[in-house]
Structure 1
Amino acid sequence: MNPVNILLVDDQPAKLLSYEVILEELQENLIKAQSAREAFEHLLRTEIAVILVDVCMPEQDGFELVSMIRQHPRYQNTPIIFVSAVMLAEPDRLRGYAVGAVDYVSVPIVPEVLRAKVRVFADLYRKTRELERLNVELEARVHQRTAELEASAAQLRELNEELEHRIDQRTREREEALAQLFEAQKLDTIGHLTGGVAHDFNNLLMAVLGSLNLLKKRLPADERSERLVTNAIQAAERGTALTQRLLAFARRQELKPQAVDFFRLFENVEDLLAKAVGPRIEIRKSIPADLAPLLVDSNQLELALLNLFVNARDALESGGAVTVAAAAAEDARPAGLAGGNYIRISVSDDGEGMDEATVSRAAEPFFTTKGVGKGTGLGLSMVHGLAAQSGGSIQISSVRGKGTTVSLWLPVAETFVKVQPPVEPPATEPLKPASRPLAILVVDDDALVRTGTVAMLEDLGHLPQEASSASQALEFFADGQGCDLVITDHAMPGMTGAELARHLRSSFPGLPIILASGYAEFSEDHGLGRMLRMKKPFTQEQLQAAMDQALSGKVAAA
């Protein structure tokens, strides 16, 4: 327990000594003063807990001294005990309380009474100071806690703002991802549909072209009849070109990727592109000569450029400029593009442009803003399919009234797999008569295609037999029958042509097999890289060339 200061004020030294003797048991600091002036000196220098004042003093009585003490701000609440050697009347007591005394002690002093009263006020002083200290600490802690709460609240507000920002960002990213997923699913669904339609359409064209070509050979010399048949053949061939564009969009065409110098490729086709767009349109180019080679099918890339330039021409009805640029694509790649090195090829025009809704549908097959008879709506679809099948991507940006830019991201030719090209012999090569009739098994689930192929083979002098499925073909061989050559469709229900070829290779290693299909779909058929393939619709000349190649040993069975 810390001792407190107790001030004893009396003009008589003997009385001060008696007070000191009585109060020394309290173990407090006792300060003595023999006059009001001396008392004030102690009060101004020292913090006093309790004051004992004699009522009767010669210079200044106790009432006046207490009144002066109470005027000091620091001692307005300090306990003051009057000590009186005479019996005070009641008015004097009331005067003492009025000026600020809290108690009276009469002489003769009872030591226990005086000690008890001083002890009470000393303890009260200590507890008051402890309470003040606790209040100060509490206020400091409250202030500190308030500051911490304010800091936490500010931090919480920042976290909430950051969380809201991240939620908004993730929501936008999710919406963009869903939109991209929806677009990809939509195009994939359309791709499957168009690929299937093109496959079936190729089978129809196969029957139409084969029958028309055979019919043309059998018609009498009649110019009008020959002109009609020729017109029908040309229309069917246009249908073939149409299916090729559909297959390009569906990513089911057979590509021949190779290292392509785009600078040289564009130089080779620049005259053709200039004729396609006409003299009113200026062609500008920004293609560095040291551009890295592309990994792409050069013929399909030329066709894609032609489609893009024709679209640009149609957007520049009053003339203008088409700009083709190429550069290494180092940043701002389209979403979903795999890692690696790419070249960005862009074709831009300053024509009428497209709105956002038109841009979102521009790559869909058969969607066109051109007038009737001015386009099929397959140009951008074909470009989109080429980019996707080549491992790249396409991006279309357009502003209404300012023009359009179509950008192709194509991979750099670092490593690539060489693809067996389809057989495309010159159409003008005359057919050679068969040295001997060959026994040929034609396997196709489409009766029209099967009939047309058989008719072409019979016209060439061979002995074809038919099978409507792979299982029927296997039964043919299981019955002990044989043949010199098998021509099989690939896409058949049950067992595919590729699976049939595997079975036949294991049983008849030397048997030549030609695999035909309405679209290229052999990527999953490992081990068929050396098998001769033929793309539908094929002509009699192409069939003869494929047979010659198969029978000459150029494409041997594994």
Structure 2
Amino acid sequence: MTQDVSNGSRDRATILAVDDEPDILIALEDLFEDGYRILTATRPAEALEILRAEPDIAVVLSDQRMPEMTGDAMLAQARAFHDAQAILLTGYADITAVIAALNRGGIIGYVTKPWDADLLRGTVRNAYERHRLGRDLATERALLRGLLDHAGEAIAFKDGEGRFVRLNARKAALLGSDVAACLGRRESEFPAARADSVAADKAAIRTGAVSESLVSDGPIGAERWSHVVRVPIRGPSGAVAHLATIERDVTEQKSLEARLRQSDKMQALGTLAGGIAHDFNNLLTAILGSLELAVPRVAGQPRLERLIENARGAAERGASLTKRLLSFSRTHDLHARATDVNALIEGMRDLFGRSLGGLVSVRTDLAPNLPAALVDPDQLELAVLNLCINARDAMPEGGQITVATAETRIADDPDLAPGTYLRVSVTDTGSGIPPEILKRVCEPFFTTKAVGQGTGLGLAMVFGLAQQSKGRFHIDSEVGRGTRVELALPCAEGAAETADAAEAEVPVAARPARVLVVDDDPEVRHVTASFLADFGYSETEAESGAAALALLEGERFDLVVADLAMPGMSGVDLAASVRAMRPDLPVLILTGHADAIEIPEDLPVLAKPFQSAELARQVSALLEA
């Protein structure tokens, strides 16, 4: 029979009383009902059923001599599935059974019948406290086990001598072992252990203070970064008895932080490159324009003509370098067109010499009669240059770089449409790339070079060009033998586009026209105005947008030629004001950096530096429109 004498309350400890004499059970209920929830059973089998149904029973009070089964035998069975503390009640001097039960761990004590009420209460109270502490300890162990087994961090507990007393599988894996093999051993005993961990552990134990550190291991470029927290744990005496270490892998976080810093630097560098390119283009416009204007004045003087031609050639190489600088600073989409890749690479010979230094030689192996590739030529040129610079850096003591082209057929790549592709490859005889680094070389901002010596954008940019061009990027490398990088580019349907050659005869003015030239740079403004005067147009100069608007209010012009980037009022702002005053008056924008200011699509643009023929064609087309 089961009786709940606590009026259904479940917030008090539960006691199970087992005795085949009902009077004894009633006496026990009377003794404990004020402080405990009481359950009773008259048979051992019934008691076992109650224990299976009531996992929260804290104490079992059991008679020893009962029909069917003795108390110690029943308690021994209960111990197999229940954690209740057991107290044996006996009215006989059956000391042998008591000793046997104590030896089996089945009971924590016994009380003889008739009992002393205070002694029995004290025994039950102590048993309950023992049960509660056992439950609390089991909960803490379960929580710790769950933390160790499922935490993303590598967690370990060590004694004062640095020996493992607890650790999780993640920590053991970092040491190249398993949990069981690590227990009782020091971290320094494992080959995979970091050399600085022992010293850091000793320092934390010595100072007794929580410490944090950021450590790395692994080869340069493929490091694994960890944030390690060491927590000294003091024992009863107040001295540090144990040390907890928590290691969290922050490699991805460090990588993201590095990418963010590098991105900020690259953004600033791109802005700087654009600004420098703008200033250089203004200078080159004045230089090239002045030289072009000077050529007719030295006709018949070969020495002067040669000097002017040399100066013009140098200025045009400067213009080409500035164009590359602008290409680096841009972030807009690619402009793919039919490109003669062989001609592009041949045109880079001077650039190779200036950019790569004298320790490496560049050999070209260009297959003849290749089809045109559908690619952005500026970005392809920058990609080839990046690959050559990487190859040079892999050969600090010198070597040979081979730039090759060939036609190839691709039919087995699921990411590419089957067909004919143009292959561009750059091969070096350098140190090669280790496998653990090779798999990361195309990540943006990933670099193995020292701080300040690499951006981590070279191969990422080449990979991006291949993807955006609907081509393929492939890299093969072997340590000690060198690296080969290949780009497979789709072929264009038509022939390669060529830049319009400057016409031998500059178009002259088809009709008289007045042109207003607006530029804050007096040299550029003078060259532009001189070109227009040579064409046969009437030109007027203005040094700013405000000055130009003042002239437009009092005079009539047929065309406005304005610089884009001017202080106070940009060329775009000026064009908007001109259209408001004279909707029929065309405006031509001249710019050394088209990305500096957003230009409306319907506004014609001529990039600096320009030749007189280019300016003549643009002006003539606008006047005839």
Name the TM-score, length of structure 2 as normaliser: 0.51
Summarize deviations over 1:103-154 as a string: whole Å, max 9, x none: xxxxxxxxxxxxxxxxxx9652677666656655554444333322222233
Aligned in 2, Cα 1:122/1:433: closer, same or farther, shift over 3 Å? closer
Q: Aligned partners of 1:405 and 1:428: how far apart in 2?
A: 42
**Residue identity in the other structure for 1:529:** E
1:541: Cα distance to partner? Answer: 1.1
Residue aligning to 2:621: 549
Residue aligning to 1:124: 115
Q: Does the aligned pair in 1 maintain the 2:386–2:459 contact within 8 Å?
A: no
Aligned in 2, Cα 1:145/1:313: closer, same or farther, shift over 3 Å? closer
**Residue identity in the other structure for 2:268:** T
**Residue identity in the other structure for 2:453:** R
1:451: Cα distance to partner? Answer: 1.0
Q: Aligned partners of 1:2 and 1:139: how far apart in 2?
A: 28
Q: Does the aligned pair in 1 maintain the 2:262–2:455 contact within 8 Å?
A: no
Residue aligning to 1:466: 541
**Match status 1:145 vs 2:136:** yes
Aligned in 2, Cα 1:537/1:424: closer, same or farther, shift over 3 Å? farther
Q: Does the aligned pair in 1 maintain the 2:375–2:469 contact within 8 Å?
A: no
Q: Does the aligned pair in 1 maintain the 2:401–2:429 contact within 8 Å?
A: yes
1:432: Cα distance to partner? Answer: 3.1
Residue aligning to 2:318: 239
Summarize deviations over 1:173-205 as a string: whole Å, max 9, x none: 332222112212222222222211111111111
**Match status 1:494 vs 2:586:** no
Q: Among 501, 505, 530, which residue is 2:602 paired with?
A: 530
Q: Does the aligned pair in 2 maintain the 1:248–1:381 contact within 8 Å?
A: no
Q: Does the aligned pair in 1 maintain the 2:281–2:609 contact within 8 Å?
A: yes
Summarize deviations over 1:364-383 as a string: whole Å, max 9, x none: 99xxxxxxxxxxxxxx6996
Q: Among 457, 481, 503, which residue is 2:577 paired with?
A: 503
Aligned in 2, Cα 1:353/1:282: closer, same or farther, shift over 3 Å? farther
**Residue identity in the other structure for 1:491:** A
1:213: Cα distance to partner? Answer: 0.8
Aligned in 2, Cα 1:547/1:70: closer, same or farther, shift over 3 Å? closer
**Residue identity in the other structure for 1:184:** S
Residue aligning to 2:23: 3
Q: Does the aligned pair in 2 maintain the 1:387–1:410 contact within 8 Å?
A: no
Residues 428-507 of structure 1 aligned to structure 2 (within 5 Å): 428-479=503-554, 481-507=555-581
Q: Among 567, 581, 594, which residue is 1:520 paired with?
A: 594
Aligned in 2, Cα 1:508/1:424: closer, same or farther, shift over 3 Å? farther
**Match status 1:303 vs 2:372:** no
Summarize deviations over 1:499-526 as a string: whole Å, max 9, x none: 111111122122121111002127733x
Q: Aligned partners of 1:205 and 1:474: how far apart in 2?
A: 28
Aligned partner of residue 474 in structure 1, secondary structure: helix
Q: Does the aligned pair in 2 maintain the 1:245–1:382 contact within 8 Å?
A: no
Aligned in 2, Cα 1:452/1:145: closer, same or farther, shift over 3 Å? same
**Residue identity in the other structure for 2:302:** E
Aligned in 2, Cα 1:498/1:518: closer, same or farther, shift over 3 Å? same
Higher strand share: 2
Aligned partner of residue 606 in structure 2, secondary structure: strand
Summarize deviations over 1:188-229 as a string: whole Å, max 9, x none: 222222211111111111111111111111114111111111
Q: Aligned partners of 1:410 and 1:499: how far apart in 2?
A: 41
Summarize deviations over 1:215-248 as a string: whole Å, max 9, x none: 1111141111111111111111111111101111
Residues 149-164 of structure 1 aligned to structure 2 (within 5 Å): 149-158=140-149, 162=153
Aligned partner of residue 115 in structure 2, secondary structure: helix
Residue aligning to 1:333: none
1:361: Cα distance to partner? Answer: 3.1
Q: Does the aligned pair in 1 maintain the 2:517–2:540 contact within 8 Å?
A: yes
Q: Among 242, 261, 266, which residue is 1:182 paired with?
A: 261
Higher helix share: 1
Name the TM-score, length of structure 1 as normaliser: 0.57
**Match status 1:349 vs 2:427:** yes
Q: Aligned partners of 1:436 and 1:216: how far apart in 2?
A: 26
Unaligned ranges ≥5, structure 1: 6-42, 49-68, 77-120, 331-342, 366-379, 412-422, 554-558
Q: Aligned partners of 2:326 and 2:131: how far apart in 1?
A: 80
Q: Aligned partners of 1:353 and 1:491: how far apart in 2?
A: 47
Residues 308-457 of structure 1 aligned to structure 2 (within 5 Å): 311=389, 349-353=427-431, 356-357=448-449, 361-362=453-454, 401-404=480-483, 425-457=500-532
Residue aligning to 2:15: none
Summarize deviations over 1:22-77 as a string: whole Å, max 9, x none: xxxxxxxxxxxxxxxxxxxxx988899xxxxxxxxxxxxxxxxxxxx86864699x
Unaligned ranges ≥5, structure 2: 1-20, 26-63, 72-91, 100-111, 156-169, 171-225, 228-246, 353-360, 416-420, 433-446, 491-497
1:476: Cα distance to partner? Answer: 0.7
Aligned partner of residue 449 in structure 2, secondary structure: helix
1:158: Cα distance to partner? Answer: 4.9
Residue aligning to 1:216: 295
Q: Aligned partners of 2:476 and 2:268: how far apart in 1?
A: 23
Q: Aligned partners of 1:539 and 1:213: how far apart in 2?
A: 8
Residue aligning to 1:369: none
Q: Aligned partners of 2:288 and 2:278: how far apart in 1?
A: 15
Q: Among 283, 308, 327, which residue is 1:248 paired with?
A: 327
**Residue identity in the other structure for 1:457:** L
Summarize deviations over 1:409-465 as a string: whole Å, max 9, x none: 999xxxxxxxxxxx9742134123324432110000001101111111222222110
**Residue identity in the other structure for 2:517:** V
**Residue identity in the other structure for 1:3:** D
Note the aligned Cα RMSD (angstroms).
5.2
Aligned in 2, Cα 1:45/1:209: closer, same or farther, shift over 3 Å? closer
Q: Does the aligned pair in 2 maintain the 1:347–1:406 contact within 8 Å?
A: yes
Aligned partner of residue 287 in structure 2, secondary structure: helix
Summarize deviations over 1:351-373 as a string: whole Å, max 9, x none: 315892269634599xxxxxxxx
1:477: Cα distance to partner? Answer: 1.2
Q: Aligned partners of 1:198 and 1:396: how far apart in 2?
A: 33
Q: Does the aligned pair in 2 maintain the 1:4–1:122 contact within 8 Å?
A: no
Aligned in 2, Cα 1:347/1:232: closer, same or farther, shift over 3 Å? same
1:537: Cα distance to partner? Answer: 0.8
Residue aligning to 2:281: 202
How many residue pairs get aligned? The number is 395
Q: Aligned partners of 2:489 and 2:576: how far apart in 1?
A: 35
Aligned partner of residue 356 in structure 1, secondary structure: coil
Residue aligning to 1:17: none
Q: Aligned partners of 1:123 and 1:387: how far apart in 2?
A: 95
Q: Does the aligned pair in 2 maintain the 1:249–1:384 contact within 8 Å?
A: no
Aligned partner of residue 153 in structure 2, secondary structure: helix
Aligned in 2, Cα 1:432/1:281: closer, same or farther, shift over 3 Å? closer
Summarize deviations over 1:291-314 as a string: whole Å, max 9, x none: xxx9x8632244235435655786
Aligned in 2, Cα 1:383/1:541: closer, same or farther, shift over 3 Å? farther
Q: Does the aligned pair in 2 maintain the 1:187–1:364 contact within 8 Å?
A: no
Q: Does the aligned pair in 2 maintain the 1:258–1:298 contact within 8 Å?
A: yes
Q: Aligned partners of 1:157 and 1:530: how far apart in 2?
A: 66
Q: Aligned partners of 1:512 and 1:44: how far apart in 2?
A: 117
Aligned in 2, Cα 1:506/1:424: closer, same or farther, shift over 3 Å? farther
**Residue identity in the other structure for 2:427:** D
Aligned partner of residue 357 in structure 1, secondary structure: coil
